[in-house]
A and B are shown apart, each in its own frame.
Chain A
Amino acid sequence: MFKVTVATGVLLALTACGGGEVASDDAVLPDSLRRGGTVVTAYHAEASSMNHFSSVDDNALELQSFVLFTTLVRYDAELRPVPYLARDWETRQTRDGLVLTFRLRDDVDWHDGRPTTAYDVEFTFDRIKDPATAYPQSSLLALYDSAVVVDSFTIVFHLQRHPGFIDPWTIITPMPRHVLGDVPPAELAHHPFGSVSPLGNGPFRFVEHRPGDRWIFEANSDFPEPLGGRPNIDRLIYRVIENPTTRLGELLDGEVDIYISVEPSQVEAIEGHPHRRVIAYPTRAYTFVNWNERRPFLQDARVRRALTMGIDRQQIVDVVRDGYGVLAKGPVPPFHWAHHEELEPLPHDRDGARALLDSAGWIDTDGDGVRQKDVVEASIELRTHPNPTREDIMALVQSDLAKIGVEARLRVQEAQSLRRDITSSERPFDAFVLGWQADFRLDDRIIFACSQIDGPFQWASYCNPRVDEILDQVTRMEDRSQALPLWHEYQEIIQWEQPYTFLYYDVRPNGVRDRVRDVTMDIRGTFINVQNWWLASDSKR
């Protein structure tokens, strides 16, 4: 039932060769010799805040979950929820819903020495449910009704039955009530807690934040042994270095130990270095071209299929990602349990594409190289935001489409201005290249449901009642084996109707110095086993 496919064969090959650890007798090394040292990581973007109530970016959420705070539940490598801050949980069905009881560990302390209790969880729950807080992901707990503290380490939630009800607790990190309890909800986002003085309960303590520059954490020696205990390294530094060449220089130079999200073109330089390695893992992101079906040219599913078949997607993966990507076939990426294994991506077939366009009535009658129907030209404006990879993708798409008689005019638009255009209910655009991140608990109604047609994310203006039906049903079905056929049908329909041209599922290479040992990274993130990282003893600093 919990069948989870982490990756396709290509991905496995990539991770296997990249993630291979340095062969040595490391395994027999006593723990005490693994202790000590500082690991410096570098990423291109700042982690906005350690205040969970105002965070929405992945970097911040990941540092919160794995470094500074603890979540009640974690995913294991197969993406099954397992206990973490919660010792265990049990559910009881009632007439109108579900009662969920968490028993918390009693040995996890805030870094000022106070215990983390059910009252902290209750406080966090209350603030999330309070609209005045404006907690970004409040929809996580939309079907939760109330919380009751039974004793200091037991909390009971009343909720409506829904699949994946436990998943929010892999994201939400309880916040300290004794620090933030008196802050009015509307002022929580601006509280100095987030940037100046966060107080956590995780494996690392907060030391210092230099905004836009670095976060510094140090090992929490009181972290309970059953949760992994004190981290091996003494300090963890998260640096913000925007320019990729600089990040590469710092990694090769030895100032940075882990370069998060290497540009694919830099992989060769890193692998060429005798003491650096590359660890690649698939992320939840995919890249696509969105077609606006309100445009006459893009209304016909045959046309959209033709566009997809006309675009050489493998070439895009090879050129812009140096192969670090997997040809995409739909909105359910390979990490997700409902991913359709047997479905093949539409072939790259120019003749087939031309035939489809002909059959849809788009023919180049005036011989200018661009097809038309009645008085409408097969010409679209293709947009993206300033981003070298996506700009390259646009250029490749443009040249591919020209070969099947479709004209694409390219436009790079400032990010917020593009966001305004695409989220506007008028949909004043033809097509654009963007990325999307699939959640572990996937709900695609927001992007493809008819009811969302004027909503901010229904960019394709795609509407198919059968898809609506399926998406409604799968979000209610608790039995995965029952939902799987519906998920498959959904992926088949989307492939046939191509509201998007799905380009590739991202694979992210990371550069790691050899002295940092036992680093594991996967779909769950970069810092998932940061507690186990250790530094080879001859090179500690």
Chain B
Amino acid sequence: MTAYIGRRLLHAIPLTLGILTLVFVLVQLAPGDPAALYIQPNVAPEVIEQMRENWGLDQPIHIQYFQWMKSFVTGDFGYSLAQHRPVTAILADRIPNTLILSGTALLIIFALGIALGIIQAVRQHSALDNVLTFGSLFIYSMPSFWLALMLILIFSSKLHTVGWWPDWLTFPPSGITSSVGYESLGFWGKLADRLHHLVLPSIALGVSSAAAVARYMRSSMLEVIRQDYIRTARAKGLPERAVILKHALKNALLPIITLFGLYLPFLLSGAVLVETVFAWPGMGKTIVDAIYARDYPVVMATSFLFAVMVVVGNLIADVLYAVIDPRIRYD
């Protein structure tokens, strides 16, 4: 197994370098450059030229490429040309925020999705199954940014005006913590404040994918419980709970693991639309802003992170297959 993982990681190196080279060429091909943000009527063209020189943008593209590669392999991501600070500082700032939000969303997606899927499969064709099917399709077809806006409208704007609605069930529409007074809270107060701010964004980000996972889980589970070994398990008198959760679940999870591998990169890439709506300073917004500003060093650094996450996510999924299903072997 270790040898397999090592081999996969070795393969990933040329792949990642190839991706980075491609991204480098593509962002350079896009019209404009970081200095273009300063092209304004009261800014003289000579000033723009000087900026390009100060930032090394006047060099031919292959020189810029090798310079970037050189500092990249020594672990230096360079300076953001739009934010005027080291790229590593930006990443150190944004990655925790993103991990909190997308980690919570991922938890919602899989915990909720798997649980609902199991319930629906076990009670196939019952009223509950129908209601859940309808509900999950309804939610799945909502765009996340729209859902986000609706959540804000309902839970932070409208419910304030409803007298009997408990205050703790209204939620702040933006930010990671309260703007005022957060510093003076104790540890538990801070935690509660953060969780309170996390509720709406993680729901907006998570529920529609949770609905999708529930659909997958339901069909995969239905397939498994028709198998002979499940009938055998029931026949030997095992309680239904053990049959479902011990024998059936493991096999039914296999397709879900594939999904999990696909969702992992999203832990770091964040979600642009939801981050924008909730003013959540995460990676998604960083990347999109960097692309619009042609902030080359930031675009390159984030592309590198995603490439790594995609590779690692797929690797984790493959390893998990082997863990769950002993029939799968890589050696």
Contact = CB atoms under 8 A, between A and B. Distances in A.
Whether chains A and B associate is yes
Contacts of A163: none
A181 interface: no
B3 interface: no
Contacts of A423: 39
B85 A249 contact: no
A137 interface: yes
Contact of B36 (A49, A196, A416): A416
A132 B276 CA distance: 36
A301 to B, nearest CB: 24
A255 interface: yes
B198 to A, nearest CB: 15
Contacts of A140: 42
Contacts of A139: 42-44
Interface string B111-153: 0000000000000000000000000000000000000010011
Contacts of B54: 132, 134, 186-187, 189
B123 to A, nearest CB: 39
A49 B175 CA distance: 21
Contacts of A241: 174, 279
A417 to B, nearest CB: 4
A226 B278 CA distance: 42
A447 B277 contact: no
B84 A246 contact: no
B32 interface: yes
Contacts of A243: 149, 276-279
Nearest to A37: B180
Given A253-B160, A457-B41, A211 B85 contact: yes
A245 to B, nearest CB: 5
A416 B179 contact: no
A250 B173 contact: yes
B285 interface: yes
Nearest to A417: B31
Contacts of B83: 48, 195, 211-212
B84 A446 contact: no
Contacts of B40: 56, 136
Interface string A211-228: 111100000000000000
Given A196-B85, A214-B179, A416-B32, A249 B157 contact: yes
Nearest to A191: B84
Given A237-B180, A249-B152, A249-B157, A51 B84 contact: yes
A255 B172 contact: yes
Interface in A128-164: 131-140
Contacts of A196: 85, 89
Interface in A81-137: 131-137
A423 B48 CA distance: 13
Contact of B47 (A48, A134, A213, A248): A134
A131 B85 contact: no
A210 interface: yes
Contact of A253 (B46, B89, B149, B172): B172
Given A416-B292, A457-B41, A246 B50 contact: no
Interface in A226-245: 235, 237, 239-243, 245
A439 B42 contact: yes
Interface size on B, as a range, is 35 or more
Most buried by A among B38, B54, B156, B179: B179
A141 to B, nearest CB: 12
A245 B90 contact: no
B51 interface: yes
Contacts of B285: 212, 242
A240 B279 CA distance: 7
B102 interface: no
Given A51-B84, A242-B279, A255-B172, A417 B44 contact: no
Contacts of B90: 211
A210 B279 contact: no
A211 B286 CA distance: 10
Contacts of A447: 41
Contacts of A54: 84
Interface in A178-197: 186-187, 189-192, 194-196
Contacts of A409: none
Interface in A429-451: 436, 439, 446-447
A211 B47 CA distance: 25
Contacts of A456: 39, 45
Contacts of B176: 213
A451 B156 CA distance: 56
B182 to A, nearest CB: 11
Nearest to B278: A246
> 10 closest A-B pairs (Cβ-Cβ)?
A416-B32, A134-B50, A249-B173, A241-B279, A420-B31, A213-B281, A417-B31, A134-B51, A186-B54, A136-B43
Interface of A: 38, 40, 48-49, 51, 54, 56, 131-140, 186-187, 189-192, 194-196, 210-214, 235, 237, 239-243, 245-246, 248-250, 252-253, 255-256, 414-417, 419-420, 423, 436, 439, 446-447, 456-457, 541
Given A194-B84, A255-B179, A416-B31, 19 more contacts: A38-B180, A48-B82, A48-B84, A132-B50, A134-B47, A134-B48, A135-B47, A138-B44, A195-B85, A213-B281, A239-B279, A241-B174, A246-B277, A246-B279, A250-B173, A253-B156, A414-B292, A419-B39, A456-B39
17 contacts: A38-B179, A190-B84, A211-B93, A213-B281, A237-B179, A239-B175, A241-B279, A242-B276, A245-B277, A246-B279, A250-B174, A253-B157, A253-B160, A253-B173, A255-B172, A416-B31, A417-B30
